[in-house]
Amino acid sequence: MNSARALALSGLSLAAVLVAPSAHAHLMVAQHGTLNLVDGGAFMVLSLPAAAFPGADDDHDGRIARSEFERHYRDIAATVSAGVSLVDGAGSHAPEGVLLSLSPDDGTPDAPAPQLVALGRIAHPRPDQPATLRISLFSVDANTRNLEVLVTRGDRRRVLVFNRDERERALFPTAWQTFTDATRRGVAHILAGYDHLLFLGVTLAGARSWRRVFLALTCFTVGHAVTLGLSVLGKVAVASSIVEPAIAATLIGMALIDGVAHARQVEVDARLRLGLVFGAALIHGLGFAGALRDLGIEPEDRWPLVAGFNLGIEFGQVAVGAVALAAAWLLGRWMPSEHRAKARQAVRGVVLLAGCAWLVARLAGR
């Protein structure tokens, strides 16, 4: 496509969105956007939540009325320019000539709008070099958490997913970049996933030897790798409304089993315990898959993403296991056996209470 034709089509796109309010219809789906790379420039169209511009929401209703829009137009445009950038070999580039349009609910064109459509051109003088898109315009509402942007360059297409935790994404990363980025995200996910960490904690607290710790971690690794891989391949699909309460239930179950065994002064059969860990890991793997899907999975990225994310989770698990083993060694060296038993009991109690709280909250949809 030649430069003149590209500019003409881009201009038509801008005009179409600008007349959207008068047409009484959405031309851009909420929380979505496009970035079309053409001839040294990137033409941007983004649908952004009104809640991302609290300074323009004078009545604090989570929407922007026409009067508020007109009053704060320049400030909103400046916020968009500051909140979006394209970074390439020539530096960081912000949108130029930002244009805005209200995106009201269908059928109510005069009502305050929950979304704004922002348009502009971003310089991209080195299209042959790797580039990164940065976006930091989000609301705190979980329903408007993710922003999906379709990036196109010639015949190449890629969907990038942004949120408060993922504000920077490479436009067309190599397989190695995808792998290393997924590894980093896997480590971050396991270390920030308190439900996964507490399950590992109660599992390791019930292991009575280094060998059993290793076997428990191995079972957990294999279990979540199975469902993570099957989910990414599309062989297994379970709604998060089922998976998240089920993860909380695994904490409760493991804590109760160990607690009952302790009260009866018996030890849970090693094979049964490993089977329980494996079964719980299958459920946790579905949770990992949900986190991975939130990043957006392109077919060519499938295996680097799965391999990297799994490896990152394993790195996190090894770190947690190392800390747990070091703590157990120190306790064994300096603490009497009866106190060690009380410490394990305290761990079970914390996990049980947290699991119950999460189960209730997640069943209630919170």
Q: Which of 229 and 332 is assigned the larger pLDDT?
A: 229
Answer yes or no: is pLDDT of 44 > 70: yes
- Asked whether residue 118 falls in the same domain as residue 243, the answer is no
User: Count of domains in the chain?
Assistant: 2
Answer yes or no: is pLDDT of 259 > 90: no
How many Cα atoms occupy the beta-carbon half-sphere of 119 within 13 Å?
18
Residue finishing a domain among 172, 187, 211: 172
Is the Cα torsion angle 313, 316, 320, 326 positive or negative in sign? positive
Q: Which of 178 and 117 is assigned the larger pLDDT?
A: 117
Answer yes or no: is pLDDT of 2 > 60: no
Bridge partners (DSSP) listed for residue 89: none
Contacts of 22 (CB under 8 A, 6+ apart): 109
- Asked whether residue 149 falls in the same domain as residue 290, the answer is no
- Asked whether residue 122 falls in the same domain as residue 184, the answer is no
Residue finishing a domain among 111, 142, 172: 172
Round to whole Å and give the CA distance between 366 and 363: 8
Residue 311 CB burial class (10 angstroms; 0-12, 13-18, ≥19): middle
Q: pLDDT tens digits, residue range 71-108?
A: 999 999 999 999 999 998 888 999 999 999 998 876 67
- Asked whether residue 162 falls in the same domain as residue 236, the answer is no
Bridge partners (DSSP) listed for residue 123: 41
Range of the domain at 261: 177-363
Residue finishing a domain among 136, 157, 172: 172
Q: By C-alpha distance, which of 356, 362, 357 is closest to 287?
A: 362
Q: Is 210 within 8 Å of 324 (Cβ atoms)?
A: no
- Asked whether residue 100 falls in the same domain as residue 230, the answer is no
Q: What is the pLDDT, as a whole number, of residue 278?
A: 93
Mean pLDDT of 168-178: 85
Residue 241 dihedral angles phi and psi, to the nearest 5°: -65, -20
What is the H or E stretch that residue 48 is in? strand 41-49
Percent of the chain clearing pLDDT 90 (strictly above): 25
Confidence tier at 10 by pLDDT (50, 70, 90): very low
- Asked whether residue 94 falls in the same domain as residue 200, the answer is no
Mean pLDDT of 48-77: 91
Round to whole Å and give the CA distance between 314 and 14: 47
Mean pLDDT of 333-353: 77
Contacts of 3 (CB under 8 A, 6+ apart): 38, 39
Q: pLDDT tens digits, residue range 123-147?
A: 887 777 788 999 998 876 645 578 8
